Chain A
Amino acid sequence: MDRIPILRMGRTLLVTVQVDMHDQLAVRLLDDLTAMITRTRARGVVIDISALDMVDSFIGRMIADVAATSRILDAQTVLVGMQPAVAITLVELGMAMPGVRTALDVERGMEMLDAAGDH
């Protein structure tokens, strides 16, 4: 069964999505992340989609679900690296994803989590 690997860096989890995900894979990722946040008591999740050249409404919703779920588990999620064409298309689709924090890249995403963690 294929899964997307989740990297643990201290209290932060890093997911780099590099494959064209089918719905089941996306759901599996949500489940795996939720389980891992709880298990490792992670305080932050960085989802790196800089390699994705397409994000549709299902994947968008999944990412929003990760953000919402992790918040309940006392962790912050940051979505990083969205490509311009993907961003324009998502907005056109009607998905502004208001509940999801974003950053330009992994480095800035980590900085954002560090700053949030100080509160």
Chain B
Amino acid sequence: MVMATPIHRTIQVLQSSHVQLLADWIKALRAATTSQSAAMISDPELQAQCQEFISLLSASAAAGGGDDLSAAAWRPVKEFLAGVSRSRSRQGFSPSETAMFVMSFKEPLFANLRRLSDGHDDTGLVTESWEFLRALDRLALYTTEIHQQAREELIRRQGEDMLELSTPVIQLWDGILAMPLIGTLDSSRTQIVMEALLQQIVATRSPIAILDITGVPTVDTLTAQHLLKTVAATRLMGAECIISGIRPQIAQTIVHLGVSLGDIVTKASLADAFRIALKKLGHSIAGS
């Protein structure tokens, strides 16, 4: 009897026994997940995902990727798993539950392989499918990596949302906005702040925005540049920025850094800035 090449039998099982394989695998998956998590994915949806995985797997196996996941043959499977992993992560599945998707496939696969060879030559079967099983393990690890990345991405985005909430834009007067900045300004924070301020300028039709940096201890070159960009963008939109609360140290840093404030109006205190803003709009405070 001619010995079929190792991967040949695996491909055969994936293609010819896929109905049985699918049923066995789904049963194993359901057994492995908690009832809480199980409720998050409907039966038809799970069935569709498993079906897709099996057909992509069989195509990759036929294309001969071996156990090297960087091979082009594995690309479609990886892309599919990345999608599954991302959605599992978003739904709140744990990394190991996500990995179980691939891990729980090994037993049904092996059981069906044995069925194909009538239980003969089990040792030979193991040796031959070793490479493929190793690929499956690596795919399972890959899903955990993607799960982790998706989690980190979500946390980063939530952080940004919180940042937006913690930098309020205040309407001081009809046509005058104020944005008190507190704490150190890093690049991404300043950009978020910038966007929020500009959007409020449009929403409230305010020609004047006061950026108060009394609560900012230090300013580095990058932050200074971002502030200047905010002022420039405000001007392009048809409004004007006044910067208030520049501490002596920050003033010195700005000069030292060689950053030019051009003709941006700066005032020591928010109150002074407010007075100037009112004057620009044609109002004035009695007695001042």
Interface residues of A (CB under 8 A from B): 79-84, 86-88, 90-92, 96-97, 102-105, 108-109
Most buried by A among B199, B205, B232: B232
Chain B residues within 8 Å of chain A by Cβ, number: 17
Which residue from chain B places its CB closest to the CB of A90 in the assembled complex?
A: B236
Which residue from chain A places its CB closest to the CB of B229 in the assembled complex?
A: A91
Determine how close the nearest CB of chain B comes to the CB of A55; give it in whole angstroms.
Answer: 9
B238 touches A96 (CB 8 A): no
B219 in the interface (beta carbon within 8 A): no
| Chain B contacts for A88, CB-based, 8 A | 194-195, 198, 229, 233
Interface residues of B in 188-217 (CB under 8 A from A): 194-195, 198-199, 201-202, 205, 207
A79→B239 CA distance, assembly (Å): 12
A91 touches B238 (CB 8 A): no
A92→B191 CA distance, assembly (Å): 12
With A84-B195, A91-B229 known as contacts, the answer to whether A108 contacts B236 (CB < 8 A) is: no
With A104-B207, A104-B237, A105-B238 known as contacts, the answer to whether A84 contacts B199 (CB < 8 A) is: yes
A72→B199 CA distance, assembly (Å): 35
With A84-B195, A84-B201, A105-B238 known as contacts, the answer to whether A92 contacts B207 (CB < 8 A) is: no
Contact with A102, one of B194, B229, B235 (Cβ below 8 angstroms): B235
A102 touches B238 (CB 8 A): yes
The A interface, classified by DSSP as helix, strand, loop or mixed, is mixed
B199 touches A105 (CB 8 A): no
A25→B201 CA distance, assembly (Å): 30
Other A-B pairs, 17, CB within 8 Å; known A82-B237, A87-B198:
A84-B202, A84-B237, A87-B237, A90-B236, A91-B233, A92-B229, A96-B235, A102-B235, A102-B236, A102-B237, A103-B238, A104-B201, A104-B205, A104-B239, A105-B205, A105-B238, A108-B207
A79→B238 CA distance, assembly (Å): 8
A112→B64 CA distance, assembly (Å): 72
Determine how close the nearest CB of chain A comes to the CB of B276; give it in whole angstroms.
Answer: 19
A86→B202 CA distance, assembly (Å): 13
A104→B195 CA distance, assembly (Å): 16
A97→B232 CA distance, assembly (Å): 9
A65→B183 CA distance, assembly (Å): 42
| Chain A contacts for B207, CB-based, 8 A | 104, 108
